[in-house]
Amino acid sequence: MTSPIIKAAARRLPHPAPAAVAGVPLGESGALEGVALPAGARLVWTSSVRAVAEAVGQAMAVQGAVCVFGDPGRGKTVAVRMALHEVPPGWKVTWVPVPVRPSVAGMRRAVFDALTLPGRFPHTSAPADAAVAAALGEARVLVVDEAQRLPVPCLEYLQSLWDHPGTRITLVLCGAGSERALGRLPQLASRVGAWQEVPRLAGAEAAAVMAGFHPLWRTVPASDLTWIDRSCGHGTFRTWAALTAHLQNALLTTADVSVDRALLGRLFQRVAPPL
């Protein structure tokens, strides 16, 4: 293609594009705490985000469990964060990071720290478990991201918290391969009320979503967006976000750049690793 894909006006951006911005509440900026976006991007409620929100909401209604899974980069964590951005009064949301090579002791500490409990972490398990159980006595969504890392003993620990008669937990297990991790503990897997996959964006939806995701894509014909997705994006949000950041910087740092398929082809090589 010889003609530019994106209008030249798109190059008149106010400042060099940083790698990402994060920590901004969802609102005018379209950003959300814990989510990194290219400058100027907005979060978009896709069909997958709506499905995750519905599954999480249903789990909260019965204090159940939900597993959110799908290949890396599809937006699982973002979908859960969007679903839990606003929860009903009386509910709290706690994100528990999974340690590298987690152990039960490490998970116990991770939950304790995530709940921001007062005092030092106890040296023995009994008082730590008592403090955690007491904190989980109020309605709370416990989100465990990167749950695919969890070995069976750690899953058993989470199940013990959920099964404790004094706790009121909705358990959200999220991660690429989290469904396979849960399969290693049938007792917990059988309690999961919803298995929600986050699939790739389909070609037609990818074009519509990216037009809402960032202003750079709004002047691109749908046929070109479909070509970009087929050639590079492959329905994966993380890839599209990286491509957006690279394109922003190309527009800001290269004089009289022509945004055509030749330029995009070069940017594709930056986004995708060599095969």
Residues 157-170 have pLDDT tens digits of 999 999 999 999 99
> How large is the average pLDDT for residues 185-213?
92
Rounded Cα distance, 26 and 24, in Å? 6
Q: Is pLDDT at 253 greater than 50 in this prediction?
A: yes
Three-class SS state of 179:
helix
Q: Is pLDDT at 26 greater than 60 in this prediction?
A: no
Strand partners, 65: 171, 192
C-beta neighbour count of 185 within 10 angstroms = 19
Q: What is the pLDDT of residue 15?
A: 33
Rounded Cα distance, 39 and 13, in Å? 10
More confident residue, 20 or 67: 67
DSSP conformation class of 233: I
> How large is the average pLDDT for residues 144-159?
96
C-beta neighbour count of 38 within 10 angstroms = 23
Q: Is pLDDT at 11 greater than 50 in this prediction?
A: no
Cα 218 from chain centre: 24
More confident residue, 275 or 51: 51
In the chain, domain spans: 8-39+202-271, 47-197
Q: Is pLDDT at 8 greater than 90 in this prediction?
A: no
Q: What is the pLDDT of residue 251?
A: 87
What's the CATH code, domain 47-197? 3.40.50.300
Q: Is pLDDT at 53 greater than 90 in this prediction?
A: yes
Q: Is pLDDT at 64 greater than 70 in this prediction?
A: yes
Q: What is the pLDDT of residue 180?
A: 96
Task: State which amino acid sits at residue 258.
Answer: S
Q: Is the dihedral of CA 143, 43, 225, 265 positive or negative?
A: negative
The region of weakest confidence among 10-14, 127-131, 237-241, 263-267 is: 10-14
> How large is the average pLDDT for residues 39-48?
91
User: pLDDT class for 257, splitting at 50, 70, 90?
Assistant: confident
Whole-prediction pTM value? 0.84
Q: Is pLDDT at 9 greater than 70 in this prediction?
A: no
DSSP conformation class of 198: -
User: pLDDT class for 2, splitting at 50, 70, 90?
Assistant: very low
- Give me the chain's average pLDDT, please: 86
Rounded Cα distance, 208 and 45, in Å? 11
User: pLDDT class for 274, splitting at 50, 70, 90?
Assistant: low
Three-class SS state of 196:
strand
Tens-digit pLDDT profile for residues 212-234: 999 999 888 888 899 999 999 99
Q: Which residue has the tokens 């037009």?
A: 211
Q: What is the pLDDT of residue 275?
A: 53
Q: Is the dihedral of CA 172, 174, 179, 180 positive or negative?
A: negative
Percent of the chain with pLDDT over 70: 87
Q: What is the pLDDT of residue 228?
A: 92
Rounded Cα distance, 53 and 45, in Å? 10
Question: Residue 207: which of 218, 196, 191, 194 has the closest Cα?
Answer: 218
Which residues 6+ apart lie within 8 Å of 38 measured at CB?
17, 20, 214, 241, 244, 245, 248
Which residues 6+ apart lie within 8 Å of 216 measured at CB?
6, 10, 40, 244, 247, 248, 251
